[in-house]
Amino acid sequence: MGSAGDVLEDNPVGRLKVYVYELPSKYNKKLLQKDPRCLTHMFAAEIFMHRFLLSSPVRTRNPDEADWFYTPIYPTCDLTPTGLPLPFKSPRMMRSAIQLISSNWPYWNRTEGADHFFVVPHDFGACFHYQEEKAIERGILPLLQRATLVQTFGQRNHVCLDEGSITIPPFAPPQKMQAHLIPQDVPRSIFVYFRGLFYDVNNDPEGGYYARGARAAVWENFKNNPLFDISTDHPTTYYEDMQRSIFCLCPLGWAPWSPRLVEAVVFGCIPVIIADDIVLPFADAIPWEEIGVFVGEKDVPELDTILTSIPTEVILRKQRLLANPSMKRAMLFPQPAQPGDAFHQILNGLARKLPHDRSIYLKAGEKVLNWTAGPVGDLKPCLQGNGLIGDRDSFGCHLRREGEREAAMGGGMGAFWGTRVMEIVKKHDSGGLLWKRIKLTPTRKANAKTRLRRVWQNEAVLRACAEADASNSPGVSNTESCTSAGKNE
């Protein structure tokens, strides 16, 4: 844990060199063009990191002298109509990208990715799922096990947090927050402030699941307490109210991190972090223990006692530390980048991991990663680039087709069918309803069976090709039989 200020001011320029791979635009620009909302939601850090690195002085065009390699891929830029990201395409996209860089450049295979880093800001990082049990089940994508992950998720002893990961804050729009600043001499008159959900009635009707019951406990214990200004409203003066409060609650939600932490630090409100075992952003540079208050989830009913029993000098000291502008800068992703901001903290974190240990360099022919590990649905078809297998796009994902509502069918087809079909259905999000009852005519049954058979055949091809890939040395193009078999589908 670093002391406030000095580590934050480090300048990474000159301490490391980053090489940015040239990936086709289907991995980055095309996704952004399809949906420009990716630039404003809380996972936008991946896009801004790419832009920052392209014009940063740490970038080098000579990959042989690079210490770190960056892959410009936006895995979280697949949004539903309501703006939430779907992680179903992301594993395939990631695999495809890694396939590309491993076959076109020798640097991946040199270390099997140990000197590469990826920005995966989604809910549970590189586990690529928004639900915790499913994310735990999937685990970190096997191909990324040696790479350094730059992610927002952080929880100790969790499958989805790798040892050497760098935890970053979620993206919060800096201009919007600057626009709502009020003068510093406005007296802070709210004791505890929180705005957000306590119960997620859509996804957790009975309660106890969302936020592990912690948010519900806050509501039930303190809804009548005049010191606690908590509600589910969306006031227009949200930012101004935060600047008028002493404590801002930052409890966990579905995932332990939240943009409230960033907002609290920027507005000088002491964050009260209610998330067990959470790993906070830039924990080696920002002294979170001295800035914020940590409350265990089991201690939530005594929150008022805890907060009022903090000595006055401690509170004043925390506020003084929070007023430090370098702390606020380190939480933000400003456009254009400024010294001391979150981009530089990420580079500092990467620089601190240098020099690379000799052991990461693999000997010729040595292989550590298992390219076939992981759920079957992740495995990418062997084609590189622009081929289509049946009705898939180049990542091997089902193309959108209007009117596809297949979830109601089939009892005993297994979990695979269920998940695959659910992905399709979710793409055609019909505003609330996941599926509607459709009449199961024989034609529809037959079509579904044909489609399923084709899917299974493709999977078999994938598996075969993956094994072929594993046995061949990387860099050699795939055997013709695989590509032709794929094309014929």
Terminal-to-terminal C-alpha distance of the chain: 55
Q: Which of 137, 356, 370, 447 binds another protein (CB under 8 A)?
A: 137
- Give the nearest distance from C-beta 16 to another protein in angstroms: 30
32 or 407, CB closer to another protein? 407
Does position 414 bind another protein by CB under 8 A?
yes
Residue positions counted in the chain: 489
Decide: 266 and 230 in contact? Cβ < 8 Å.
no
Work out how close the CB of 233 gets to another protein at its nearest, in angstroms, rounded to a whole number.
Answer: 21
Size of the site for another protein (CB under 8 A): 79
Q: Is 400 in the site for another protein (CB under 8 A)?
A: no
Interface characters, 151-190, with another protein (x: CB under 8 A): ----xxxxx-----------------------xxx-xxx-
Selected binder of another protein within 13, 197, 283, 315 (CB under 8 A): 315
Given CA atoms 275, 279, 282, 287 in this order, what sign does their dihedral have? positive
Using CB under 8 A, which residues numbered 429 to 458 contact another protein? 429, 432-435, 437, 440
From candidates 13, 32, 79, 136, binder to another protein by CB under 8 A? 136
Q: Which is nearer to another protein, 133 or 480 (CB)?
A: 133
* Residue closer to another protein, measured from CB, 306 or 464: 306
**Cα 119 → chain centroid:** 8
Burial class (CB in 10 A: 0-12, 13-18, 19+), 474: middle
Write the DSSP symbol of residue 429. -
- Of 34, 298, 453, 487, the one binding another protein (CB under 8 A) is 298
Rule CB under 8 A: which of 5-44 touch another protein? none
Q: Based on CB atoms, which residue is closest to another protein, 20 or 230?
A: 230
Site for another protein in 258-277 (CB under 8 A): 276-277
Residues 52-81 touching another protein, rule: CB under 8 A, are 80
Contacts (CB under 8 A) with another protein, residues 209-228:
209, 212-213, 216-217, 220-222, 224-227
Question: Do the beta carbons of residue 20 and residue 54 sit within 8 Å?
Answer: yes
Residue with smaller CB distance to another protein, 105 or 219: 219
Q: Is 132 in the site for another protein (CB under 8 A)?
A: yes
Residue 398 has what DSSP assignment?
B
**Smallest distance, another protein to C-beta of residue 428, A:** 11
CA–CA dist 476, 382 (Å, integer):
12
**What DSSP element (H or E) covers 489?**
none
> Of 306-314, 338-346, 375-383, 457-465, which part binds another protein (CB under 8 A)?
306-314
Please answer whether residues 211 and 252 qualify as being in contact, where contact means their C-beta atoms are separated by less than 8 angstroms.
yes
Measured CA to CA, the distance from residue 369 to residue 105 in angstroms comes to 17
- What is the C-alpha to C-alpha distance for residues 363 and 107, in angstroms, rounded to an integer? 13
The Cα 185–Cα 203 span in angstroms is 42
Q: Is 300 in the site for another protein (CB under 8 A)?
A: yes
Query: Is 120 among the residues that bind another protein (CB under 8 A)?
Result: no
476: left (phi over 0), alpha (psi -120 to 50) or beta: beta
140 binds another protein (CB under 8 A): no
Cβ–Cβ < 8 Å for 248, 264:
yes
Q: Is 375 in the site for another protein (CB under 8 A)?
A: no
CA 6 vs CA 266, 303, 324, 351, 409: distances in Å: 19, 33, 12, 15, 60
